[in-house]
Amino acid sequence: MSGFLKSSIGRKVAMALSAFFLMFFLLQHFAINLLSVFSGDLFNEVSHFMGTNWLIQFVMQPILIFGVVFHFVMGFILEIKNKKARNIAYVKNNGAANSTWMSRNMIYSGVAILAFIILHFIDFWFPEINTKFIQGDWSGIHEGVDGYRYFHELQEKFVSPIRVGAYVLAFVFLALHLLHGFTSAFQSMGATASRKKTLQNIGKAYSIIIPLGFIVIALFHHLNHH
């Protein structure tokens, strides 16, 4: 495995696989959050299931965290190696003429997204871990119980226009990151040229619709908070 990751192709494939995993999680996360726009009770029920199911908490959650860390660490490693290669290539040709701005600056959108993930953890994940594992409160089956707080907490986080602005900006960076990353991931997995156009269209749709959907959710709760 270590030998595989040391090769250029191996690192790109590993990066692509972790990207696919994170994009699947992002889609799932969006679907659950979208419920909050239509029904607070349903959002609470699904969030409670996700937050108390042992398979999700003790198997999927650690895998997700590993996937996030792996993707960003591998991204930084690839960026360093690509930068060295570009420094040589730029002597021979105009880099801007042979690649998009986004492809040359994935590291910056990646850092912005990483900062957002840290903010998101502070807002939601750390308090959840504190409640369940430090305070030992795994209650919350019925509304009115302290543990049944998901929808209320979601609304509270989107009261501040500054926080909402930070979320909106982060999802703009996410869209930019995905616009290049989606197609790049498929290319790393060996997608044929004939499928490139289709994959680009799917990638553009995903990269715009999902971040835009998250922005709409944040603005909805900000404007409808009572």
Residue-wise pLDDT for 179-214, tens only, equals 877 777 766 666 555 677 787 788 889 999 999 999
pLDDT top residue among 154 and 101: 154
CB 185 within 8 A of CB 207: no
Which pLDDT does position 211 carry in this prediction? Answer: 94
Share of the chain above pLDDT 90, in %: 21
As a whole number, the mean pLDDT across the chain is: 78
Full-model pTM: 0.77
The pLDDT tens digits for 85-136 are 666 555 444 545 445 656 666 777 788 888 888 888 888 877 777 777 777 6
pLDDT at 144 over 50: no
Q: Reduced to 3 states, what is the DSSP secondary structure of residue 143? A: strand
Ranking 138-142, 157-161, 180-184, 194-198 by mean pLDDT, the lowest is 138-142
Comparing CA positions, the residue from 58, 77, 70 lying closest to residue 18 is 70
What is the band of 33 on the pLDDT scale with cuts at 50, 70, 90?
Answer: very high
